[in-house]
């Protein structure tokens, strides 16, 4: 059974993404390189999510790990206690 993700932050994390580059969004919340994966999920049963944008863009990645629209922030952090 997978461990529950932890909220890395209760705010979105804004990063610049390059077209054609592959990014791995941290789903577990344990990465020191938020919002991207650094391998800290090992043993949690949670795997990072692959994301490869077709165009260069600025994105608001979810930092609380509660989004219903991964890897993007959907405001779910506003409901966390």
66: left (phi over 0), alpha (psi -120 to 50) or beta: alpha
**At residue 1, does pLDDT exceed 90?**
no
Q: What is the mean pLDDT of the chain?
A: 96
Contact yes or no for 30/44 (Cβ under 8 A): yes
Respond yes or no on whether the N-terminal peptide bond of residue 24 is cis (omega within 30° of 0). Answer: no
- pLDDT, tens digit, 9 for 90 and up, residues 29-58: 999 999 999 999 999 999 999 999 999 999
């Amino acid at each position: 059974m997978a461990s529950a993700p932890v909220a890395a932050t209760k705010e979105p994390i804004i990063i610049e993404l390059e077209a054609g580059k592959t990014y791995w969004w941290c789903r577990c919340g344990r990465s020191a390189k938020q919002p991207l994966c650094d391998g800290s999920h090992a043993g949690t049963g949670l795997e990072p999510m692959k994301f490869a944008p077709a165009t260069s863009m600025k994105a608001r990645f979810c930092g609380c790990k509660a989004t219903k629209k991964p890897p993007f922030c959907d405001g779910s952090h506003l409901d966390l206690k």
